[in-house]
C-alpha cells in the first residue's frame, strides 16, 4: 500500500475530512489531496506532522500488519492428551491464546475420565455441555450438567470436571485468562 493511500485510510477511519487533517497538521487541503492520490511525496518532517495529527507513530504507520485472523479451521487445532489425565482429550480451538484474553477448548471425556484437579487461581471458567453428562466439583460442592447445559464459575476454589456416566461427554470450555 502506498503512503498516500495509508494516510487516506487512517483519516477516514477517524472520520476526518481532508480539511480537518490539513488544519491539524498545519498544511493545506490541496497538499493533503495530492498526497492521498500519491501525486505528492511528503518530506519526513511533513509526514511526522501528518502522523501526529492522526495520532499514530512512524513505527505503527510503517508496520507490516496482515489482516486479523478471524476463522480457525479444524486442522489448526492443537490436540493435548496428557498421561496424567487418562481419557481426557483437549483441543485448543484458537491457537496462540497466550496473546488473547480467553482460551477456548473442546474437551472430550471418556467414561470415568477426570480432568486435572486445578488449584484455585485467578480467572473465570465457563462452558457448554455438547454431549453426555459431567460433574463439576468446586471445592466441596458438586454440580451436574447435561447436554445443552451451560456452566460458569470463578476459579477461586480447587476444581475439576469428571464424566461419571458410561458414554463419552464433550464440553466447549472457555477460560479467561487463558490457561494453556
CATH number at residue 16: 1.10.260.40
78 and 55 within one domain: no
How high is the pLDDT of residue 68?
A: 72
Lowest mean pLDDT among 71-75, 95-99, 149-153: 95-99
Distance CA 132, CA 113 (A): 13
**pLDDT single digits (tens) 16-52:** 999 999 999 999 999 999 999 989 989 999 999 999 9
Give per-residue pLDDT as tens, 91-129.
988 877 556 788 899 999 999 999 999 999 999 999 999
Percent of the chain with pLDDT over 90: 67
pTM, to two decimals: 0.61
Domain-embedded: residue 160:
yes
Full domain range(s) for residue 30:
3-62
- Same-domain status, 92 and 57: no
Which grid coordinates are listed for 134? 459431567
Q: At what angle do helices 3-13 and 29-36 cross, to 10 degrees?
A: 120
Is residue 81 domain-shared with residue 169, that is, in the same domain?
yes
Cis peptide before 177 (omega within 30 of 0): yes
Within a domain: residue 49? yes
Amino acid at each position: 500500500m502506498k503512503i498516500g493511500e495509508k494516510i487516506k485510510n487512517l483519516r477516514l477511519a477517524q472520520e476526518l475530512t481532508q480539511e480537518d487533517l490539513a488544519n491539524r497538521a498545519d498544511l493545506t487541503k490541496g497538499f493533503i489531496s495530492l498526497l492521498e492520490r500519491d501525486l505528492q511525496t511528503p518530506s519526513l518532517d511533513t509526514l511526522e506532522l501528518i502522523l501526529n495529527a492522526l495520532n499514530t507513530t512512524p513505527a505503527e504507520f510503517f508496520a507490516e500488519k496482515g489482516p486479523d485472523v478471524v476463522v480457525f479451521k479444524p486442522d489448526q487445532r492443537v490436540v493435548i492428551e496428557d498421561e496424567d489425565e487418562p481419557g481426557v482429550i483437549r483441543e485448543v480451538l484458537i491457537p496462540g491464546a497466550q496473546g488473547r484474553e480467553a482460551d477456548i477448548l473442546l474437551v472430550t471425556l471418556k467414561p470415568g475420565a477426570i480432568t486435572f484437579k486445578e488449584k484455585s487461581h485467578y480467572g473465570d471458567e465457563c462452558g457448554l455441555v455438547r454431549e453426555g453428562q459431567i460433574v463439576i466439583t468446586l471445592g466441596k460442592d458438586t454440580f451436574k450438567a447435561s447436554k445443552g447445559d451451560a456452566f460458569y464459575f470463578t476459579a477461586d476454589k480447587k476444581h475439576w470436571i469428571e464424566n461419571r456416566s458410561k458414554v463419552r461427554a464433550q464440553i466447549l470450555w472457555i477460560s479467561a485468562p487463558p490457561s494453556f
